[in-house]
Homo-oligomer: A and B are copies of this chain.
Amino acid sequence: MNDFEYHNPTKILFGSNHYTKLHDLISNVATNEKILLTYGGGSIFKNGVHKKVIDQLAGFNVIEFGGIEPNPQFSTLMQAVEICRSENISFVLAVGGGSVIDGTKFIVGAVAYEGDPWEVLERKPGKTFEETLPFGAVLTLPATGSEANSGAVISRSELKTKRTMGGPNLFPQFSLCDPSVVASLPKRQIANGLVDAFVHTLEQYLTYPSGNLLQERQAEAILSTLIEIGPKVIQDPANYELASNLMWCATHALNGNLRCGVPTDWATHMIGHELTALHNIDHARTLAIIGPRLFEALFEQKKEKLEQYGRRVWGLTGDSESVSKQAIQKTEEFYHSLEIPTKISEYVDSERNEPTIIREIFESRGWFKLGERQSVTPELVEKIVAAAL
Contacts and interface: CB of A to CB of B under 8 A. Distances in A.
A16 interface: yes
B224 A179 contact: no
Contact of A260 (B3, B6, B14, B222): B14
A211 B241 contact: yes
Contacts of A13: 5
A155 to B, nearest CB: 31
Q: How many copies does the complex hold?
A: 2
B213 A217 contact: no
Contacts of A260: 14, 248
Interface string A11-41: 1111111100000000000000000000000
Nearest to A3: B15
A45 interface: no
Nearest to A247: B1
Interface in A271-320: none
Contacts of A8: 8
Nearest to A223: B217
A229 B213 contact: yes
A15 B13 CA distance: 31
B213 A245 contact: yes
Nearest to A211: B241
A1 B245 contact: yes
Interface in A158-198: 179
Interface of A: 1-18, 179, 211-215, 217-218, 220-222, 224-225, 228-229, 240-241, 244-245, 248-249, 252, 260-261
10 contacts: A1-B15, A1-B241, A1-B248, A6-B12, A7-B12, A211-B241, A211-B245, A213-B245, A214-B245, A221-B221
